[in-house]
Amino acid sequence: MAEVLSKTSLLPSWHHHQYHQNNQSSISVFPKSCNYNKSRSFSCSLKLSPEISSPSLSTTSDFHGKNIAFQATSITSSQPHASSAVNSQQSGRRIGKALKWWEKGNQPNMKEVVSAEDLVESLSNAGDKLVIVDFFSPGCGGCKALHPKICQLAEMTPDVQFLQVNYEEHKSMCYSLNVHVLPFFRFYRGAHGRLCSFSCTNATIKKFRDALAKHKPERCSLGPTKGLEEKELLALATNKDLSFTYTPKPTEDVPAKEEVIVAEETPPRLPLPSATSKSAQVVTAWR
């Protein structure tokens, strides 16, 4: 009797399924026939709906070895653009990252130096191009006030290379280069090496403009690019805080010039008067 009740309990589920068939149910099962025989056993056969499409998930039921197919349904989000919104927010955080004041307004011809070797190579590879080394500090108020004008001048002179040296990150290197005041600038060009060096502020920007106008015109320098001076390179190489090596260039032996000593002619000396002649003159004058 318990088996009969378990079988008959499926009938309400069939009607419930037919009621929700229009609501896109994931299971389509229709009764074919139900028989109650004299042996008091209840048997049913099931007919599967042909509307079930693959891929489908099938399980084996106990209804005479028939298979019931369950249609795999996909759950769609009520917000189709949720993932794109999250990606845009993440990218917005990266794009909206606040720039530091010495990074604002930088031009393509402005480069921040990362090491002593980078500074030496940048000067050596510049050729005849004018290079301006800008020493600054993030905590320097004068450097911060002057930075926008330096960026404007860099935009007006794209053929000039600007190198930025952060004093706080390269204190030991600046000490070896004898930089002790900020903001500080040094001009380099070709075989001439260092042209000038000075410190200026927003109030004395004319000093920078005058130096730029003086050394900006194109010119050709004879010989290889000099860059830093020999004593500066040696100071960087002997600094234990820096990983910089430098081999001094061999000096050429210059033959010593032969000194020719010319004997100076001494003027002839006049003969000294003798004592007898003096006494004779004195006597003559007395007489």
The answer to whether residue 89 sits within a structural domain is no
CA distance 55 to 36: 36
The answer to whether residue 255 sits within a structural domain is no
Q: Are residues 153 and 214 in the same domain?
A: yes
Which letter, b or e, does each residue of 187-198 get, where b requires 16 or more Cβ atoms within 10 Å of its Cβ? bbbbebbbbebe
Q: Are residues 144 and 214 in the same domain?
A: yes
Name the token pair of 133: 């080394």
Q: Are residues 118 and 61 in the same domain?
A: no
Section 47-62 average pLDDT: 47
The answer to whether residue 216 sits within a structural domain is yes
- 3 burial via Cβ count (<10 Å: 0-12, 13-18, 19+): exposed
Specify whether the CB–CB gap between 102 and 150 falls below 8 A.
no
| CATH code for the domain in which residue 160 is found | 3.40.30.10
The answer to whether residue 209 sits within a structural domain is yes
The answer to whether residue 62 sits within a structural domain is yes
CA distance 123 to 190: 9
Q: Are residues 162 and 206 in the same domain?
A: yes
Distances (CA, A) of 286 to 72, 139, 277, 280, 281: 159, 99, 14, 10, 8
Specify whether the CB–CB gap between 244 and 237 falls below 8 A.
yes
**Is residue 15 over pLDDT 80?**
no
pLDDT band at 265 (very low <50, low <70, confident <90, very high): low
Q: Which helix (H) or strand (E) holds 136?
A: strand 130-136
- pLDDT for residue 253: 54
- Counting the structural domains of the chain, the total is 2
Section 80-101 average pLDDT: 57
Which member of 34, 44, 140, 174 is catalytic?
140
The answer to whether residue 18 sits within a structural domain is yes
Name the token pair of 65: 């070895």
143 is catalytic: yes
44 is catalytic: no
pLDDT band at 287 (very low <50, low <70, confident <90, very high): very low
pLDDT band at 244 (very low <50, low <70, confident <90, very high): very high
The answer to whether residue 258 sits within a structural domain is no
Q: Are residues 128 and 10 in the same domain?
A: no
Q: Are residues 47 and 133 in the same domain?
A: no
pLDDT band at 97 (very low <50, low <70, confident <90, very high): confident
Pick the last residue of a domain from 18, 53, 71.
71
Which member of 34, 143, 151, 196 is catalytic?
143
Specify whether the CB–CB gap between 10 and 44 falls below 8 A.
yes
The answer to whether residue 285 sits within a structural domain is no
**Is residue 86 over pLDDT 50?**
no
Q: Are residues 175 and 123 in the same domain?
A: yes
Q: Are residues 37 and 159 in the same domain?
A: no
Distances (CA, A) of 108 to 29, 163, 175: 71, 11, 28
> pTM (2 decimals)?
0.56
> Phi/psi at 73 (nearest 5 deg)?
-110, 145
Q: Which residues are CB-contacts of 149 (< 8 A; sequence separation ≥ 6)?
A: 202, 205
Name the token pair of 19: 């009621």
CA distance 176 to 180: 10
CA distance 165 to 144: 14
Distances (CA, A) of 279 to 133, 186, 283: 87, 82, 6
> Phi/psi at 32 (nearest 5 deg)?
-95, -55
> Phi/psi at 140 (nearest 5 deg)?
-90, 115
Range of the domain at 21: 2-71
Section 221-229 average pLDDT: 88
Residue 56's beta-bridge partner residues?
71
Q: Are residues 232 and 106 in the same domain?
A: yes
Which letter, b or e, does each residue of 19-39 get, where b requires 16 or more Cβ atoms within 10 Å of its Cβ? eeeeeebeebbeeeeeeeeee
Section 190-199 average pLDDT: 95
